[in-house]
A = this chain, B = another copy of it.
């Protein structure tokens, strides 16, 4: 008899994952210890092995389990805490906060890449890039400063656009999907220009987000975003609730 009903509406794999998580948290399965193998758990939960596999892979992705062929599945001793940052386009961030969005281009010109930028992109120093700086506003107050370098070769069609009006951020998201990205965060003291543009004082601590993206062949763009003082970047961590 093939295919039993897939459960009322509660994904069985999730149920198994949650139950396994409970056992780990309540120390029924101890750190470093082996847990029963997939076949046994399949019997216990009355599920197919594939379903148990899906559940355990979920926990392994979360870092709670370590799985190896032949060696079995063990509870991780020092689980790394994983968090997922969802970085949407600035406009959506601002609008989600219930503010009116605006943006203004401060500078835009072709310019040979400085050593630092060239290195970050992996391009020869002096390669001509499009350099632009813009301010994103929420309710008329500066929200983020954007300092972006764009590899013209990787963004066909971009030369013709008028970024004085268009939003480079959104154009790139929509027109130059990336394959690989590097993201880093740091803090910096606002310099005079940043302070002026953000309408704050020089020296104030700013959260800096630095992103570089590549397609399969070449770098697309690198951007340094300086957030307004006090900006709190939230990430989602932990596991989904039962």
Contacts and interface: CB of A to CB of B under 8 A. Distances in A.
A114 interface: no
B83 A87 contact: yes
Interface stretch (A100-108, A125-133, A158-166, A227-235): A227-235
Contact of A215 (B25, B81, B203): B25
Contacts of A181: 81, 83, 237-238
Q: Give the size category of A's interface with B.
A: 35 or more
A236 to B, nearest CB: 8
A183 B237 contact: yes
B215 A186 contact: no
B88 A85 contact: no
B184 A187 contact: no
A89 B85 contact: no
Contacts of A233: 184-186
Contacts of A24: 177
Contact of A239 (B25, B173, B180, B208): B180
A164 to B, nearest CB: 22
Interface in A197-242: 203-208, 211, 213-216, 227, 229-239, 241-242
Give the copy number.
Answer: 2
Contacts of A174: 31, 77-78
A40 interface: no
Nearest to A50: B50
A80 interface: yes
Given A174-B31, A178-B238, A180-B241, A231 B186 contact: yes
Interface string A21-45: 1101100000100000000000000
A86 interface: yes
A179 interface: yes
Contacts of A89: 78, 80
A188 B205 contact: yes
A186 B237 contact: no
Given A174-B77, A185-B207, A188-B205, A85 B83 contact: yes
Given A180-B237, A183-B236, 8 more contacts: A25-B179, A25-B216, A184-B233, A185-B233, A187-B205, A205-B206, A213-B238, A214-B238
Across the A-B interface, the 8 shortest Cβ-Cβ residue pairs:
A181-B237, A187-B187, A181-B238, A205-B205, A187-B205, A180-B238, A187-B207, A80-B88
